[in-house]
Structure 1
């Protein structure tokens, strides 16, 4: 069997969850329908899953279900963006962004008491790259512009942020989650971020703090 996939039997044994839990989480949209892949085997039809995705998702569900309801978890895992406005003071109180990232964000979007969730996602992505030491503040301006200009068309769809440098010049691109992107040898890929993962992390930070 392809090592990138895991059978339902192996998944249940490895994670310790029951058949009933697995399909309840499917009904609640915690696990996407298209992750349940039916394939022919020598014993007949069996269900397989993308190994890394399903193991990571079940680990998150198990560790977060005591703090969040299944409906809240489903909302967190949904690729659709929350429509809430986030108070600017929450960004510091809930450790969403550092002051340098917030100052960069305010320079771009202006001062306000509250911001759309979508803009807070952009600030969180900038924070991730700044905190990792992969991006400087000047490059952050370009990042926010690319996200503002192009991310809305990916709403509800998987996509990846690609950050590259060539001869000291930086550039950012957004690509469909299924796209294969190739560069010439003089281009250094600084970072590739799964935006859906950033979205999940941000929702988790907000919901866990609000719930606690």
Structure 2
């Protein structure tokens, strides 16, 4: 079996959950349909999952299900962007992203400017990479350009942001998940961010 996959039986045994729970969470859209991967084995057709993604998701469900309904959890995990607007002045007061990021990357200086959730997400991702010390301000500008041009193309589907560098030259890419990617020699992967996780984290900050 591929090391990045886990079988349904292994998942149920490792997490101590039932078949019924798993498929109820699927019906409620807590677990994406495309994480259920059918493969042929010597015993016939079996279901597998992306190991890291499903284990992290089950842990989150188990930790949050006592505080939130399944419908609320589905909203929390959904890659669809909610309809949300926040004024610049309120964004700065709530410290959702650093003021440095807002002032550097906001195109309008007026405190009355209103940001959509999508634009807040772009700022949030840039802020994470800048605070980690992985990215320069100049690279941040190219990150935001990449996000504006390509993130809307996924239309609510899960994707990852890749940030790589070779010989001092950086590049950004968005790709559908689950997926593996292989680089030419000399490329260093600086960061790989799950946009779904970033969306979940930003939703939690805005609640």
Considering the TM-score relative to the shorter chain, is it more than 0.5? yes
Distance 2:65 2:33 in 1: 20
Counterpart residue number, 1:182: 183
Counterpart residue number, 1:147: 147
Distance 1:119 1:54 in 2: 28
Counterpart residue number, 2:197: 197
What residue ranges of structure 2 are gaps of 5+ in the alignment?
A: none
CA contact (8 A) 1:164 1:191 kept: yes
What residue ranges of structure 1 are gaps of 5+ in the alignment?
A: none
1:44-83 paired onto structure 2 within 5 Å: 45-83=45-83
Question: How many residues are paired up?
Answer: 205
1:161-176 paired onto structure 2 within 5 Å: 161-176=161-176
| 3-state SS of paired residue (1:63) | helix
Indicate how the Cα distance of structure 1 residues 124 and 48 shifts in structure 2: closer, same or farther if over 3 A, else same: same
CA contact (8 A) 2:26 2:33 kept: yes
| 3-state SS of paired residue (1:30) | coil
- Which moved further from structure 2: 74-83 or 187-196? 187-196
| 3-state SS of paired residue (2:82) | coil
Counterpart residue number, 2:3: 3
Question: What does the per-residue CA deviation read over 1:80-139, in whole Å, with 9 as the maximum and x for residues that have no partner?
Answer: 222222344554565421222222232x35544531100011011001101100112232
RMSD of aligned residue pairs (Cα, Å): 2.7
| 3-state SS of paired residue (2:191) | strand
Indicate how the Cα distance of structure 1 residues 138 and 154 shifts in structure 2: closer, same or farther if over 3 A, else same: same
State TM-score, norm by structure 2.
0.81
Distance 2:18 2:192 in 1: 35
